Structures are given as C-alpha cells and as structure tokens.
C-alpha cells in the first residue's frame, strides 16, 4: 500500500480546467488498478491532494435539483459566475474567491475501503482545523459537511462536501469558506437545504481576512494525521511543519 500523498497547490484556477485535471488523475489511478488486476502486477497507485481557489461558479451534483439554482443564464452572467452539472454526490453549491477547495484523489485501497468513514474523516479534518481558531464545529446528522451551532436556530454551514468514488478511487471533495463573499450563496438553496445559513471563518472570527495559506497548512496537518499518510512535496506545495 502507498500512503504517500502528492500535494499540489493549484492557486486560482477555472473550475472546468481543474475538473478535467481531476478526471485525468482519477482515470490514471483506475487504469493502473485495472492493469494490476489484469496482469497480476503490484504497481503502487498514487494519491493526490489538490488545493485550489475558483472564480465564481455554481455546481450541481448528479442527484441535485435544478430548482435549487435561483438564477437564469443572464443573471449568472451578470454575477460573473458560471454553472456546471457535475458527477459528484450532493446537491448544489458555490465556489469562489476566499474559499479553500480541497480535492483528495485517493486510492482508498491504500487506506481503508469505507466511503462513509472517508467522508467522516474529511469532516473531522475541517473540524480539527477550525478548532485551532477557537471555532467549535460539528457534524449535522443526515447533512454531510461541517456546521456551527448544530441543533440550534442559529445553525450555519461553513464547509460543504461532495465526492465521487469508483473502485475505491475518490475525486471532488470539500469547500471551506475562509474569506468568502457569502452573498453568492443567496442565489441558490445551498446543498438543497432550506432555512439554514452559511458562514465563513473570517466572519466567525470578526476579521476582515484570515490567512488562507495558514488554513491550508492546518488542513494538511490534520489530513495527514487522520489518514496516517505521508506528504510527497511537489513544486508549489505548502508543507506544514
């Protein structure tokens, strides 16, 4: 089993460009697994964790409801936003500047073959990261992602999640609001859940801006700790000490 994870910080990139890149990495791992099965080889499959920040974009998961998108094409253009129907689980969400998006592309055969456990681990990575800022976050039963003040009238979501998996290989991932413009969430029913608010780390801390580099370092630290993985640094990587 290969527990090394190659970290790539892609910076500010178009959603479709990164979606295509995810697919390329995802298919590469699947092909290697099939080759091992077909030819009886034991070639190690790689793992990746991509960090990225996207221009304004709305994405609808394969089980999502188009009625949760509250803008038409003309209004989308007016907001400077794009829209994609994609192949992850979950409903509709927003990505944009000030948000840290993480795409773990892992062969879970290298770790554990349990998608439910995988999602809970991703949530725990974010919960532990937020705890370092004195923000108490939690899971909300039946609602994937990370929330604040769960079970109260003030419940609000700070991190959305949606993944795709095939033959235990994952793609897509999480989106943590760090310095996000929350006004863009008013144009959708976030994750198909009505009547609950969305928040951002800078809002919770009462700061104009939180260091995204620092948050990524903390995410990375907790990711490697929980998955018992090893970082494989590449150009542009942020390596947490």
Give the residue numbers annotated as catalytic, written as ranges.
Answer: 191
Burial of residue 186, with CB atoms counted within 10 A of its CB: 0-12 exposed, 13-18 middle, 19 or more buried: exposed
CA dist., res. 204 & res. 147, Å (int): 12
Determine whether the annotation assigns residue 199 to a binding site: no
Determine whether the annotation assigns residue 162 to a binding site: yes
Residue 94 exposure: Cα atoms within 13 Å on the Cβ side: 30
CA dist., res. 19 & res. 38, Å (int): 28
The separation between the first and the last C-alpha atoms of the chain, rounded to the nearest angstrom, is 25
Determine whether the annotation assigns residue 173 to a binding site: yes
Determine whether the annotation assigns residue 54 to a binding site: no
Determine whether the annotation assigns residue 94 to a binding site: yes
- In the chain the beta strands, taken as DSSP E runs, fall at 4-12, 48-53, 57-60, 82-85, 92-95, 99-105, 137-140, 143-148, 156-166, 169-177, 197-198, 230-233
Determine whether the annotation assigns residue 229 to a binding site: no
Which phi-psi region, left, alpha or beta, contains residue 152 (left: φ > 0; alpha: ψ -120 to 50)? beta
Question: At a CB cut-off of 8 Å and minimum separation 6, what does 92 contact?
Answer: 58, 59, 60, 61, 64, 65, 68, 69, 188, 189, 190, 191, 192
Determine whether the annotation assigns residue 160 to a binding site: yes
Q: Whats the size of the chain, residue-wise?
A: 241
Determine whether the annotation assigns residue 145 to a binding site: no
Determine whether the annotation assigns residue 118 to a binding site: no
Q: Which residues are annotated as a binding site for substrate?
A: 88-95, 160-162, 173-175
Binding residues: 88-95, 160-162, 173-175
């Amino acid at each position: 089993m290969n527990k090394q994870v190659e970290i790539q910080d892609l910076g500010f990139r178009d959603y479709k460009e990164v979606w295509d890149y995810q697919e390329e990495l995802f298919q590469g791992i699947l092909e290697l697994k099939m080759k091992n099965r077909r030819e009886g080889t034991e070639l190690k499959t790689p793992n990746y964790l991509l960090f990225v920040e996207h221009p304004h974009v709305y994405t609808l998961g394969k089980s999502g409801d188009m009625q949760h998108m509250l803008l038409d094409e003309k209004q989308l253009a007016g907001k400077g936003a794009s829209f994609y129907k994609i192949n992850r689980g979950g409903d509709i969400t927003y990505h944009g500047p000030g948000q840290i998006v993480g795409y773990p592309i892992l062969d879970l055969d290298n770790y554990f073959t349990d998608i439910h456990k995988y999602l809970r681990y991703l949530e725990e990575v974010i919960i532990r990261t937020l705890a370092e800022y004195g923000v108490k976050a939690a899971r909300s039963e039946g609602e994937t992602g990370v929330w604040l003040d769960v079970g109260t009238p003030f419940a609000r979501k700070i991190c959305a999640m949606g993944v795709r998996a095939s033959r235990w290989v994952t793609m897509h991932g999480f989106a943590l609001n760090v310095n996000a413009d929350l006004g863009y969430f008013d144009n959708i029913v976030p994750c198909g859940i009505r009547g609950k608010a969305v928040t951002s780390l800078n809002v919770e801390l009462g700061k104009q801006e939180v260091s995204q580099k620092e948050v990524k370092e903390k995410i990375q630290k907790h990711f490697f700790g929980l998955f018992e993985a090893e970082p494989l640094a590449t150009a542009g990587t942020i390596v947490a000490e």
